[in-house]
A and B are shown apart, each in its own frame.
Chain A
Amino acid sequence: AQKITQTQPGMFVQEKEAVTLDCTYDTSDQSYGLFWYKQPSSGEMIFLIYQGSYDEQNATEGRYSLNFQKARKSANLVISASQLGDSAMYFCAMRAYNTDKLIFGTGTRLQVFP
């Protein structure tokens, strides 16, 4: 069975600082993808970044980067230069190659303060 664990229910960070949101996963599949989504108070799920299990380089998208450590089964999201608009819930998710659905963690609420 696949499982995503996000151990930080809430995080605070000061504007312009970097923050790391933790995500660990469990799967017996060799081929899988890891995703991070942002959910602001409006409720929409916004795709941020994707890492494939065979990708050798860590994924980066603007201020977002994914610290992928395959042996440790972790896929932490790093947000650099935090902005007030980054305040939201952040969900880590995974999908095995031979399945249809995304498995989500319980999320981390990030609050950015001035």
Chain B
Amino acid sequence: GAGVSQSPSNKVTEKGKDVELRCDPISGHTALYWYRQSLGQGLEFLIYFQGNSAPDKSGLPSDRFSAERTGGSVSTLTIQRTQQEDSAVYLCASSETSGSLDTQYFGPGTRLTVL
């Protein structure tokens, strides 16, 4: 079946602009995660959605970052007033559930460059 998809694959923006990144999880997966990978670094957790529960936003680095998940499927990560330090690859992952140690499957990522 189809894997996790993300769009756009690349985004170049100017400092101060807002950007939206989209994630389509694997069909039927109830849990969705956003991570950020800065150059040469491991992945940093940002936010997690499980069904209709309130999201875990504990990893969001500032209030410029927000995310939504509509209808329990597609998610959008929004970064307002982008800064150069926001440049990174943003990865989305989904898993069947979150109550167990289900494997998270990742999308190809969106490479964000803030000039």
Q: Which A residues are within 8 Å of any B CB, using their own CB?
A: 4, 32-33, 35, 37, 42-47, 50, 52, 91, 93, 95, 97, 100-107
In the complex, are the beta carbons of B108 and A100 less than 8 A apart?
Answer: no
Give the 8 A-B CB pairs with smallest separation, nearest first: A33-B101, A45-B106, A101-B45, A104-B42, A100-B48, A104-B43, A44-B108, A106-B42
- Which residues from 30 to 48 on chain B have a C-beta closer than 8 Å to any C-beta of chain A? 31, 33, 35, 41-45, 48
In the complex, are the beta carbons of A102 and B104 less than 8 A apart?
Answer: yes
- Distance in angstroms between the alpha carbons of A84 and B91 in the assembled complex: 26
Interface of A: prevailing SS: strand
Range of interface residues on B (Cβ < 8 Å): 20 to 34
In the complex, are the beta carbons of B108 and A101 less than 8 A apart?
Answer: no
Known contacts: A43-B89, A91-B43, A107-B42. The answer to whether A97 contacts B101 by CB under 8 A is yes
Collect the chain B residues with CB atoms within 8 Å of residue A42's CB: 108
Q: Indicate with 1 or 0, residue by residue over B94-115, a CB within 8 angstroms of chain A CB atoms.
A: 0000101101111111010000
- Cβ of B56 within 8 Å of any chain A Cβ, yes or no, is yes
Collect the chain A residues with CB atoms within 8 Å of residue B93's CB: 45, 102
- Cβ of B61 within 8 Å of any chain A Cβ, yes or no, is no
In the complex, are the beta carbons of B103 and A43 less than 8 A apart?
Answer: no
Query: Could you list 27 A-B pairs, sorted by A, with CB under 8 Å?
Result: A33-B101, A35-B104, A37-B106, A43-B109, A43-B111, A44-B107, A44-B108, A44-B109, A45-B43, A45-B109, A46-B106, A47-B103, A50-B101, A91-B42, A91-B43, A93-B43, A100-B33, A100-B56, A100-B98, A101-B33, A101-B45, A101-B48, A101-B56, A101-B59, A102-B35, A104-B44, A105-B42
In the complex, are the beta carbons of A95 and B101 less than 8 A apart?
Answer: yes
Collect the chain B residues with CB atoms within 8 Å of residue A101's CB: 33, 45, 48, 56, 59
- Cβ of B50 within 8 Å of any chain A Cβ, yes or no, is yes
A44 — nearest CB in chain B belongs to which residue?
B108
A49 — nearest CB in chain B belongs to which residue?
B103
